[in-house]
Amino acid sequence: MLTIKKHALKLGALGLVLGISFAACSDDDDPAPTLRSKEYKLTGSATSTTQVGTIKLTENRDSSVDMTITINKTTASTKHPYQLLAGTVAAPTETVLLNDTITGTGNAVTKTIWKNLKTVDVNGAPRKFNYDSAVAISAFAKMKFSATKDSIIAIGNIWKSAQ
């Protein structure tokens, strides 16, 4: 009889511990953050509505950002220079945020401008940079046919200027 009471006591204690353990588990953990992404339309001219490309800004889990540029049609073996400039297409400034080129293939081309960008240099000092930092900047993108031919093949407001 004493043995049965000892087993009953142990089983009761085990049941109590398991009950408390299961009750302490919770499914109300914070959900994973929703990552943001925005695609900005590039047109053939400031007055055109025909889309010729995009610039896409994407937020990563570590708060870094990625940015890509896609041009729907390029000229094979031609280096198309592009710039990100402060201001808007209608009210540009002289402030150049980025200068680069994309080499044409005769087809659509995508180039990664930023990959996992977390900091930028401002007057020689590094500053934290994230998705919110980018969308707070008034800027636009402009791409020319080539360094020697000044015709614009893609232009569009991005970030704050696109709102």
In a domain, 31, yes or no: no
Within a domain: residue 134?
yes
Is 87 part of a structural domain of the chain?
yes
Backbone angles phi, psi at 111, to 5 degrees: -130, 135
pLDDT for the residue numbered 76:
94
Query: Mapping DSSP to helix (H, G, I), strand (E, B) and coil, where does residue 91 land?
Result: coil
Question: What pLDDT score does 13 carry?
Answer: 66
pLDDT of residue 59: 97
Q: How remote is the C-alpha of 123 from its chain's centroid? A: 24
Question: Is residue 17, in this structure, part of any structural domain at all?
Answer: no
Residue 125 lies inside a defined structural domain of this protein: yes
Q: Specify whether the CB–CB gap between 62 and 86 falls below 8 A.
A: no
Assigned domain for 2 exists: no
**Phi and psi of 48, rounded to 5°?**
-80, 150
pLDDT at position 27 is 62
CATH of the domain at 116: 2.60.40
Cα of first residue to Cα of last residue in the chain, in angstroms, is 81
Is there a domain that residue 22 lies in? no
Per-residue pLDDT at 73 = 93
φ, ψ for residue 27, nearest 5 deg: -100, 15
Tokens of 18: 């398991």
Q: Which residues contact 2 (CB under 8 A, 6 or more apart)?
A: none
- Share of the chain residues as helix, strand and coil, in percent rounded to the nearest 5: 20, 45, 35
pLDDT confidence of residue 150: 81
What is the pTM (predicted TM-score) of this model? 0.77
What pLDDT is recorded for position 163? 85
DSSP-assigned states of every residue in 26-73? -S-PPPPPPPPEEEEEEESSTT---EEEEEEEEE-TTS-EEEEEEES-
pLDDT in tens, the chain (163 residues): 556 666 666 766 666 666 666 666 666 666 777 899 999 999 999 999 999 999 999 999 999 999 999 999 999 999 999 999 999 999 999 899 999 999 999 999 999 999 999 999 877 889 999 999 999 999 999 999 999 988 999 999 999 999 8
Report the candidate in 30, 31, 32, 38 with the shortest Cα–Cα distance to residue 132: 38
Domain limits at 51?
A: 37-162
* pLDDT score for 2: 55
Number of compact structural domains in the chain: 1
